[in-house]
């Protein structure tokens, strides 16, 4: 009888565990938990970076009295070239390079489009046909800058394109002083540009390119010359 009583009152091992004892989690569960934290943190950093990028782009303004040894405009819109030619006419630089012109576009077509004086074009404007992209613009501009011996250069491009352009130029040529002269994209002139799907699409796409360019310049992976002449050598 006493033996049966002892068996009856014997505590089960699982009932002895205190409610305060932590439940052990498996390695897979812990990995998923920390992986979730990492994803949330990465998303927050990317979103915060985009806000910072957008603020820097939309508040970027040209210098009040722009002046440098020379001017480089990165093709991608006639508004950029018009602005660069106007700077040249005003004496903001001694000479202008139009970088990244398509091989089928002639010098005469560009001059006619800008309505610049023939004398100005013949004396002080160089046309660059070698660049294929922003990396190529940086390479082409650097070759031209070093050939001419310039130390400071005004960079003319759209405001949303300016951060990536300056990053590529600084990577290729850290010794030259590059002075941004942003051309404001029409879609970004509105203070509420973020409600415009087109403007938001442009900003998100450019921000993604900025991130990729930064990773490429840090690691050196995936970097290419971006020049037509280099493609011919391959």
Given a cut of 90, whether residue 190 has pLDDT beyond it is no
**For position 193, what pLDDT does the model report?**
74
Given a cut of 80, whether residue 14 has pLDDT beyond it is no
Which residues are paired to 74 by β-bridges? 99
Ramachandran region, residue 7 (left: φ > 0; alpha: ψ -120 to 50; beta: rest): alpha
Pairwise pLDDT comparison (17 vs 100), residue with the higher score = 100
Given a cut of 60, whether residue 10 has pLDDT beyond it is no
Pairwise pLDDT comparison (223 vs 162), residue with the higher score = 162
The CA distance from 226 to 234, in Å, is: 12
**Selection from 180, 232, 214, 216 nearest residue 63 by Cα:** 180
162-172 vs 27-58: helix crossing angle, rounded to 10:
100
Report the 10 Å Cβ neighbour count for 118: 10
- Percent of the chain clearing pLDDT 70 (strictly above): 85
The answer to whether the beta carbons of residues 182 and 159 sit under 8 Å apart is: yes
Q: Which residues contact 102 (CB under 8 A, 6 or more apart)?
A: 75, 129
pTM: 0.80
Q: What is the mean pLDDT of residues 170-184?
A: 95
Given a cut of 70, whether residue 1 has pLDDT beyond it is no
Report the 10 Å Cβ neighbour count for 217: 16
Given a cut of 60, whether residue 62 has pLDDT beyond it is yes
**For position 15, what pLDDT does the model report?**
45
- Percent of the chain clearing pLDDT 90 (strictly above): 56
pLDDT bucket at 196, cuts 50 / 70 / 90: confident
What's the chain's average pLDDT?
A: 85
Residue 166's φ and ψ, nearest 5 degrees, are -65, -35
Interval 110-129: pLDDT, tens: 999 988 899 999 999 999 99
pLDDT bucket at 231, cuts 50 / 70 / 90: confident
The CA distance from 73 to 116, in Å, is: 15
Pairwise pLDDT comparison (191 vs 81), residue with the higher score = 81
pLDDT bucket at 31, cuts 50 / 70 / 90: confident
């Amino acid at each position: 009888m006493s033996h049966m009583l002892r068996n009856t009152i014997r505590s089960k091992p699982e009932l002895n565990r205190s409610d305060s004892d932590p439940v052990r989690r498996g390695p897979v569960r812990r990995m998923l938990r920390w992986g979730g934290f990492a994803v949330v943190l990465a998303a927050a950093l990317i979103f915060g970076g985009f806000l910072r990028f957008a603020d820097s782009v939309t508040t970027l303004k040209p210098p009040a009295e722009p002046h440098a040894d020379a001017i480089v405009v990165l093709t991608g819109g006639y508004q950029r070239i018009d602005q660069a030619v106007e700077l040249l006419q005003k004496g903001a630089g001694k000479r202008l390079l139009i970088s990244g012109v398509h091989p089928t576009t002639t010098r005469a077509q560009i001059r006619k489009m800008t309505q610049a004086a023939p004398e100005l074009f013949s004396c002080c404007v160089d046309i660059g046909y070698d660049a294929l992209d922003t990396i190529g613009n940086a390479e082409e501009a650097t070759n031209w800058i070093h050939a001419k011996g310039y130390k400071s250069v005004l960079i003319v491009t759209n405001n949303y394109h300016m951060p990536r352009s300056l990053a590529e130029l600084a990577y290729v040529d850290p010794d030259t002083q590059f002075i941004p002269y942003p051309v404001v994209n029409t879609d970004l002139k509105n203070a509420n540009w973020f409600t415009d799907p087109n403007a938001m699409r442009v900003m998100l796409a450019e921000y993604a390119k900025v991130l990729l360019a930064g990773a490429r310049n840090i690691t050196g992976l995936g970097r290419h010359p971006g020049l037509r002449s280099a493609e011919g050598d391959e």
